Structure 1
Amino acid sequence: MITRRQSTEIRLGNLTIGGSAPISVQSMTKTDTRNIPATIAQIKELEECGCEIIRLAIPDMEAASALKSIRPKVKIPIVADIHFDYRLALASLSAGVDGLRLNPGNIGDPERVKAVVKSAKEREIPIRIGVNAGSLPKDLPPELTIAQKMVKAAMGHIKILEGLDFGLIKVSLKAFDVPTTIEAYTQIASLIPYPLHVGITETGTPKTGLVRSAVGIGNLLYMGIGDTIRVSLTAPPHEEVFAAYEILKSLNLRQRGPILVSCPTCSRTEVDIVGIASRVQEALNKIDKPIRVAVMGCAVNGPGESKEADLGIACGKGQGLLFRKGEKIAVVPEDELVDALLREIASL
């Protein structure tokens, strides 16, 4: 049983973050925010696959203005990603965003920081402080580890907001290096009450990025640390959402859509179990039912080894078993196994 760190609750649009609320899945658009139709289309695609928070880069005033057209067309909370220019933050708030990703210490002029915080406070809009290992302030003590520097930088930004009586805060501390990220989050989790957004940054393409993200995010979640997560991949954003839910499902923290259990194959396998499992996975990607489905290559051990599955198939030479909860319900020719399995899934 995972015991989650109890953070304070904040509201991000219609979503509760922190406290006892479910861990939320976030992604970021990879369109040009100034391209309004493309950005809306991508957000809608992400909504359909379960994304619950979307972050948009706001590089200039044109992008900030585009938010006025984007916000009414989508359902999930929008976070505007702002760097340095306080005017972009003010314009994004006026456009109706649900959250800001902004480091107040990077704005500079205290009066400009006050203006942003005042506007966010009036609208009850949270601010996420996001510290990345690759862009730390240069004046941090050199004797500190990277993780310690990340924590110190975050605490400096937090102090600015707290000094302005602002408490709608969420924090992230991301690095490419997994141990550094875990160390940073572990340190800050005991120092602040605010919700934590968890992720490993710049992990690369799916083949390696999924592993790095699963190890880093999974370890933190298992320790009870994390209120929202993003799997950052050099890939279409829907792949980030799929991966995030798989991480959550593997720790029994969220259940969305099916779980596929499939054997790795061995010399007992007499069918193309890799191809069969791929077909089943593709079909399951279109289903929202929180069920467990098994694809096993051995009719001798398959049903027993996957007895907790709601439905499954165990393949033999020329035919296979269709089973439910480990109990055989039919013997099916090999070329009809997948279709028979999908029919049973549809009937649930």
Structure 2
Amino acid sequence: MSIRPWRDIARRQSRQIMVGNVPVGGDAPVTVQTMTNTPTSDAKATIDQIRRCEEAGADIIRVSCPDVESTAALKQIVRASRVPIVADIHFHYKRALEAADAGAACLRINPGNIGSSERVAEVVRAAKANGCAIRIGVNAGSLERDLLEKYGEPCPEALVESALDHIKLLEDHDFREYKVAVKASDLFLAVAAYQQLAEAVDCPLHLGITEAGGLIGGTVKSSIGIGSLLWYGIGDTLRVSLSAEPEEEVRVGFEILKAMGIRNRGVRVVSCPSCARQGFDVIRTVEKLEARLSHIRTPLSLSVLGCVVNGPGEARETDIGLTGGGNGRHAIFLSGISDHVIADEGMIDHVVRLVEAKAAEIEAGTSVAMGEAA
């Protein structure tokens, strides 16, 4: 058994497509997606939820379009959204035609589920006419009957064969602006299917462990599955599927990418689990800081450690560090260097101000650098 180098990520080379104005695949950043859970026919509620997802950092947002009322509301939703909208279509090809005309940037549809070749051709024509991409979404829970009869149960080979069958239907109509997902709630099944598909096609792959569970369990399960694939260089866009608010899916998606050093957004917090040595309440402090700093988009790092055992060492590796000391006095590190001492009172407000100032400094430096480059 060969051991992979511990920090070796060689990204799979896929061709690039566009989902609205967002590039997916090639050398584009791995994008984070989520899906609304409001009735799409309620445009206001859906737009409000989209806005929260945008604030959390979502690059692309999917909405379900099960009926004509939903596609009728889609035009208003697309106009209001700051990010590309994917219309989720399951069986009725006319919903796909309506969604394309309403301005959807991408159609999530399995061509084999919508009937005749002429219906597939109609959807392709609508996608081409409106500049839509298509996402093929294979799911272990809804595999075609003939594949279940052939393989006996959902397995990697069945998921990949289904994906290849759907791909062929699009390519037979000269359409290549597609990405593919082969999701399963069994993370081992999903990972194996993605690995096989990655060797068989050159299109972008959308990662996900479907029906992963609630916020904690689903986060763990998704992190293992999606993280494993990303480590092997597989994946161009992802969704963390949780029984939680969609903005939480976005936050977890970015945490996975941050943990792997693939893409950074906002404050990366390094904190200890706390013990009897702690000089302040680490758990509550971290909870409050994460909530107070959720608006920061600039990538930077903050260490919060309760004592001097590991505190100074971690602080030397982060932009800002807080290390617990004795008698209610704690050390503040700036850019890895011990700078000053802060008392318990006002400590959280003080750290928030430091982080906000550092974010502004980084942003100003980025703006100056871009101006000089221009």
Whether TM exceeds 0.5 here: the answer is yes
Summarize deviations over 1:239-280 as a string: whole Å, max 9, x none.
Answer: 000000000111111111010000111232243111111111
Post-superposition offset of 1:343: 2.2
Amino acid at match of 1:75: R
Quote how far apart the aligned CAs of 1:306 are.
Answer: 3.2
Contact persistence 2:143–2:154 (CA under 8 A)? no
1:121-140 aligned within 5 A: 121-140=128-147
CA displacement at 1:299 relative to structure 2? 2.7
Residue equivalent to 2:349: 339
Q: Distance in 1 between matches of 2:131 and 2:238?
A: 22
Greater mean alpha carbon deviation, residues 303-312 or residues 242-251: 303-312
| Aligned equivalent of 2:208 | 199
1:213 is matched with which residue: 222, 247, 261? 222
Match of 1:139, SS state, is: helix
Between 1:274-283 and 1:247-256, the stretch displaced more is: 274-283
Q: Deviations over 1:89-114 (max 9, x none)?
A: 11111111111000010111221111
Q: What is the CA–CA distance in structure 2 between the aligned matches of 1:231 and 1:289, rounded to whole Å?
A: 22
- For 2:335, the equivalent position in structure 1 comes to 325
Partner of 2:269: 260
How far, CA to CA, are the matches of 2:190 and 2:151 in structure 1?
18
Q: Could you tell me how far 1:300 is from its partner in structure 2?
A: 4.4
* From 58, 61, 75, the counterpart of 1:54: 61
Contact 2:101 2:130 in 1 (8 A): no
Please give the alpha-carbon distance, in whole angstroms, between the structure 1 residues aligned to 2:279 and 2:81.
48
Q: Work out the CA distance in 1 between the residues paired with 2:240 and 2:188.
A: 16
TM-score by length of 2: 0.90
CA deviation after TM superposition for structure 1 residue 344, in Å: 1.7
1:222 aligned residue (227, 231, 239): 231
Map of 1:68 onto structure 2: 75
1:268-312 CA distances to partner (integer Å, 9 max, x unpaired)? Answer: 224311111111111221212211001011134311233111001
- Aligned mates of 2:56, 2:280 — CA distance in 1: 32
Overall identity of the aligned pairs, in % = 46
1:171 aligns to 2:180 (yes or no): yes
Unpaired runs of 5+ residues, structure 1, are: none
Do residues 304 (structure 1) and 313 (structure 2) align?
yes
In 2, distance between residues paired with 1:223 and 1:301?
A: 31
TM-score normalised by length of structure 1: 0.97
Contact 2:303 2:314 in 1 (8 A): no
* Match among 47, 51, 67 for residue 44 of structure 1: 51
Looking at structure 1, the residues matched to 48 and 308 of structure 2 have their Cα atoms a distance apart, in angstroms, of: 45
Alignment RMSD, CA only? Answer: 1.3
Paired AA for residue 354 in structure 2:
E
CA distance in 1, matches of 2:52, 2:182: 28
Q: Distance in 1 between matches of 2:81 and 2:34?
A: 14
- Write out aligned runs for 1:222-301 (5 A): 222-301=231-310
Structure 1 CA distance for aligned equivalents of residues 268 and 292 of structure 2: 12
Q: How far apart are the structure 2 equivalents of 1:118 and 1:23?
A: 28
Letter of the 1:305 partner, please give it: E
CA contact (8 A) 1:53 1:79 kept: yes
- Counterpart of 2:276 in 1: which secondary structure? coil
Residue 17 (str. 1) matches residue 24 (str. 2): yes
Task: Give the AA of the match of 2:49.
Answer: Q
Other-structure match for 1:119: 126
Task: Find the aligned partners of 1:153 and 1:256 in 2 and give their Cα distance.
Answer: 35
